[in-house]
Chains A and B, each alone.
Chain A
Amino acid sequence: MAVLPRIDEESRGFWEALARHELYFQRCRDCGRARFPPRALCPACLSSATAWVRASGRGTVYSFTVTYQNQAPGFRDVLPYVLAIVELAEGPRLVTNIVGCPPEAVRVGMAVEVVFDDVAPEVTLAKFRPVGDDP
């Protein structure tokens, strides 16, 4: 049983795109600053003019941890798993999981690409796997 995000008016566009297997972040139309997670206003210039930018899906592992203990439902049955921060090629960093390789193979700086995990009807999570790995 996956833990599902609660989707609200500021994040809906992000999650709807993910359900189409497209990864987006935001960029301010006024000052050009990228931002993630999504929010209605650019915190740098407080503009509401927002562009959704499709990410290439490529990135690198910024940091990671192999989780061996988590009593929470949805995770206690899938131990160990890799919690990571991935830096997208376009800049923004996001919290995710590294999948598609043994946990002990993950390294900081490793090149990764997005994989779309359909965890529930209309809910897809962006996870990452080492580049070049076939599913």
Chain B
Amino acid sequence: MSIWGRVAVVGAYEHPARFAPDKTAYQLHAESARGALADAGLGIEQVDGFFTSGVGPIGILSLAQHLDLEPCYLDSQSIGGSSFVSHCLHAAAAIAGGLCSVALVTYGSTAASQRFAIGTGGASGGDPPDEFEAPFGPTIVGSYALVARRHMHAYGTTSEQLAEIAVTMRRHAGLNPHAKYRDPITVEDVLASRMISSPLHLLDCCIISDGGGALVLTSVERARDLRRPPVVILGGAEAVRHHGVGNRDLLDIAACQSGPLALARAGVAHADIDVCQVYDSYTITVLVTLEALGFCEPGEGGAFCAGGRIGLGGALPVNTDGGGLSSNHPGMRGIFLVIEAVRQLRGERGAAQVPGAELALVHGTGGMLGGRHSGATLVLGRV
């Protein structure tokens, strides 16, 4: 029996903190768990599946202690910022398969208050393939910049087109009272900001913030008795891309595989998607992800993202909370993609609401887009 349409997100909470030097990362996990369980109307004692990442190799054990959880299903899938999107996919399978009944997904990070240099502090994980890259000074932003340069070479994509993405995300952030940066910016502002790793400028890059978030998932049957309108997982898939045997096409990203698979599993066409939340670690991430997901043809991403098409009121509103480029980015923001999609499908977003949104697509990217990275796609719908 298919798992699609049988499991729902019933609780979602985004921690409002963007700079929290008075809190620990575990505290942000716990406060987010409290928020999501309250949203769902469930008690923590009902949680029997626990999902988290970014807490170290077996850190889920320590975090389980912190929350005094003794679940019968544990998943600390760690594939970068997309991990939490992947957790929802895994939770859907676990709940539909009877391995647990109430899944809690948590995230928390104090990257900003610890002054952690996300993106520009070197990027070697110490795994065997890293030894062929680390001596040459790779950075996370540099990895994405390699993709941007290749895309520019292949298709004539311009820095102005990339800048428009940052401008749109900032416009959305202006409607989000919790967003870290809310003042409007222009294409000229992006191009005038200092170059970090060409062709990516400072304002092509995600911000660094603290933050946390949590999700609660359960079966659609159980969801009927809960206080929030359930948001159902209609389809999903994940994928990985890497240098392979030295034959990698930089524009063949993980979303090329997970996107079409997720849509097919949901039985949904691109034109049916009302709102999209895609990981915007950098402006180029949005452009190539939308192409890879199939919302436009390869090479058309620049034009697709221009002219306000991915803004509220446009053909495909993307990252309606302001995304990682303007709202929050504590290092691994995949959970916020799901949270914002849930809020949109519940119709809770006020001035940033996509009218009548019924179907949302979420895509998380984790790791280094121009190197080893993961992709996780979800198609979510309201019942």
- Residues of chain A at the chain B interface (Cβ within 8 Å): 2-8, 10-11, 25, 33-37, 43-44, 62-72, 74-75, 78, 81, 83-85, 91-97, 108-109, 119, 125, 127
For this complex, 8 residue pairs linking A to B, each with C-beta atoms less than 8 Å apart, are A6-B126, A35-B245, A43-B245, A65-B199, A93-B246, A93-B247, A95-B138, A95-B243
Separation in Å of the A39 CB from the closest CB of chain B?
Answer: 8
Which residue of B is nearest A64, CB measured?
B149
Q: Are A69 and B246 in contact (CB under 8 A)?
A: no
Query: Are the C-beta atoms of B147 and A63 separated by less than 8 Å?
Result: yes
Nearest Cβ on chain A to B208's Cβ, whole angstroms: 13
Chain B residues close to A by CB (< 8 Å) = 117, 120-122, 124, 126, 128-129, 131-139, 141-142, 145-150, 153, 194-200, 243-248, 250, 370-371
Q: With A68-B195, A108-B149 in contact, is A63–B137 under 8 Å at CB?
A: no
Q: Are B146 and A83 in contact (CB under 8 A)?
A: yes
Whose C-beta in chain B lies nearest to the C-beta of A78? B137
Q: Which residues of B contact A84 (CB under 8 A)?
A: 146
Say how far A104's CB is from chain B's closest CB, in angstroms. Answer: 9
Report the separation of the CA atoms of residues A83 and B129 in the bound assembly, to the nearest whole angstrom.
16
* Complex: A85 Cα to B194 Cα, angstroms: 24
Is the Cβ of B248 less than 8 Å from the Cβ of A95?
Answer: no
Which of B120, B124, B146, B148 has a CB less than 8 Å from the CB of A85?
Answer: B146
Contact B250 A3 (CB under 8 A): no
Complex CA gap A75/B141 in Å reads 14
Query: Are B370 and A63 within 8 A (Cβ)?
Result: yes
Contact partner of B135 among A2, A36, A68, A92, CB < 8 A? A2
A66: which of B138, B197, B245 is its contact (CB, 8 Å)?
Answer: B197
The chain B residue with its CB closest to the CB of A39 is B128
Closest 6 interchain pairs by CB? A72-B122, A92-B246, A36-B246, A65-B145, A35-B245, A5-B131
Residue numbers in B under 8 Å from A71 (CB-CB) = 117, 120-122
Across the interface, which residues of A come within 8 angstroms of B139, CB to CB? 67, 69-70, 72, 83
Is B149 a contact partner of A37 (Cβ separation < 8 A)? no
For the complex, what is the distance from the CA of A35 to the CA of B88, rounded to whole Å? 35
Distance of A92 Cα from B244 Cα, bound (Å) = 10
A7 partner residues in chain B, CB cutoff 8 A: 131
B197's contact among A5, A65, A94, by CB below 8 Å, is which? A65
